Amino acid sequence: MAANKVAYLSLLYMTLGLVLVATVSADPDLLQDVCVADLSSGVKVNGFTCKENISAEDFFFAGLAKPGLTNNTFGSLVTAANVQKIPGLNTLGVSMSRIDYAPGGLNPPHTHPRATEMVFVLEGQLDVGFITTANVLISKTIKVGETFVFPKGLVHFQKNNGRVSAAVIAAFNSQLPGTQSIAATLFAAQPPVPDHVLTKAFQVGTKEVRKIKSRFAPKK
């Protein structure tokens, strides 16, 4: 019971922190009370245009309530609660995600070009880390009720090395943080990154590069 109380208090503090970080959001400040995103608009702006008629549903999302399916290559699943799922987040400069991990599951090395990320462990434990621009790995094992921060734009990862499932709630100071998975970005880009670029960068042969590309190719 006490452990549950600590977990809920930690999540509360994290939520309050998310609200506070909005004051120094990576996104532009809003100029009115709300600007609910019109996701169907063809007008392209930095963000989304505002729609005229709004309702409570524009500010609601139930998608983080249940664990995501982790029966995939990496054994993890990210469920985003960003402006594309909650139109009311437009111009508010915040969003969240739930990340679920099977035993041995990995959220592979990636970056968020528009946001700092803060994770709160709901269950299980994770080995997490980020790499600085000086190529220094900052890593730690975190467990239920604990938090860890990944600075904006830096490569980071989470790995479940436990025997049970794990899950976190992640908070971002952007309505749409963006995600670039390092391996997929380099080996699954379209048009593809030239083989000679990758062979030079990774100091491997063309055969190895094409083998990795084949593993990231869309399933037919």
| Over residues 154-164, mean pLDDT | 97
- For the beta carbon of residue 96, count every other beta carbon within 10 angstroms: 22
Give the pLDDT band of residue 47 (cuts 50, 70, 90): confident
pTM for this entry: 0.85
pLDDT tens, residue by residue, 104-139: 999 999 999 999 999 999 999 999 999 999 999 999
| Between 75 and 42, the higher pLDDT residue | 75
**DSSP state for residue 75 in the 8-state scheme:** S
Alpha-helical runs (H) found in the chain = 2-21, 182-187, 195-202, 206-216
Q: Supply the pLDDT for residue 44.
A: 80
What's the pLDDT band for 201 if we cut at 50, 70, 90?
Answer: very high
Residue 205 clears pLDDT 60, i.e. is over it: yes
Is it the case that residue 213 has pLDDT exceeding 60? yes
More confident residue, 99 or 2: 99
Q: Which residue has the tokens 């025997």?
A: 163
Q: To which residue do tokens 């594309």 refer? A: 84
pLDDT of 45 higher than 90: no
Task: Tell me the C-alpha distance between 218 and 102, whole Å.
Answer: 23
Token code pair at residue 211: 């083998």
Q: How confident is the model at residue 41 (pLDDT cuts 50, 70, 90)?
A: very high
Confidence of residue 31 (pLDDT cuts 50, 70, 90): confident
Sheet of strand 166-172: strand arrangement: 76-81, 95-101, 166-172, 117-123, 147-150
Q: Model confidence over 176-199: pLDDT tens digits?
A: 999 999 999 999 999 999 999 999
Domain ranges of the chain: 56-175, 189-216
Residue 161 assigned ligand-binding role? no
Residue 12 has pLDDT above 70, yes or no: no
196 is in an annotated binding site: no
**How would DSSP label each residue in the chain?**
-HHHHHHHHHHHHHHHHHHHHGGG-SSPPPSSS---B-TT----BSB-PBPSS--GGGG---TTSSPPP--STTSEEEEEESTTT-GGGTTT--EEEEEEE-TT-EEEEEE-TT--EEEEEEESEEEEEEE-TT--EEEEEEETT-EEEE-TT--EEEE--SSS-EEEEEEESSSS---EEHHHHHHS-SSPPPHHHHHHHHT--HHHHHHHHHHHSPP-
Q: Give the other-Cβ count within 10 Å of 152's Cβ.
A: 17
pLDDT of 17 = 61
112 is in an annotated binding site: yes
Residue 92: pLDDT over 80: yes
CATH architecture of 56-175: Sandwich (2.60)
